[in-house]
Amino acid sequence: MKKLCISLLLALGVPSLALAWPWSTDMMNQPSIKPQEGEMAPFPARSIPVMGVPTPVSNREESRDLKNPIPVSAESLDKGRVLYKIYCAACHGLTGKADSPVASKIGAISLVDSYVQETLTEGWIFGTITFGSFVMPAYGKPTGREDLRGGNDLTVEERWHVVNYVKHGLVKDAQAATRTASATE
């Protein structure tokens, strides 16, 4: 009888012992970082604040007389070329001649024409990239547009690299592409 009582006590007591082990804690009290707890981790690279990337002007018209703070260099042209191919080539074409499949459908202009190369200032091109135009999305602070279209895709510095490429490298690359194409025919 003694053995039966001990066995009964052990059988009833074992489950309560099992609940006392570490695996019995609920998910709320597990070792993890909780919101608003401890020191805040730094934001990831290229993360954008909700209010957007600060831009030195508030609309495209104000940007006309801006001077490019990034000097034209091989490094700047290379950065601008890469960014151009990512963001601009879909509409303006790899050569800038508005020869992409969508160019005629959306009214993209040729960036190698004399109008763009000789008439438009670097500031105006920067403003167009930043605030967009009729069909072109904004690649800067979207609150600069009444319809709030656009995204915060390019930093101020990256936009100036694209301007350097459009004004100082795109025509040369387009001419080189034309020579290469005619040589292979």
Distance in angstroms (rounded) separating the CA atoms of residues 153 and 10: 66
> What does the CA dihedral 100, 104, 106, 112 come to, rounded to 10 degrees?
60
Closest among 118, 101, 107, 99 to 166, alpha carbons compared: 118
Residue 168, token pair as written in the block = 């100082």
pLDDT digits (tens, 9 = 90+) for 119-164: 999 999 999 998 888 888 888 765 545 555 555 578 888 999 999 9
Q: Which domains does the chain have, with CATH numbers?
A: 61-184 (1.10.760.10)
pTM for this predicted structure: 0.66
> CB atoms < 10 A from the CB of 153, how many?
18
pLDDT digits (tens, 9 = 90+) for 57-71: 878 888 899 999 999
- In whole angstroms, give the CA distance from residue 72 to residue 183: 30
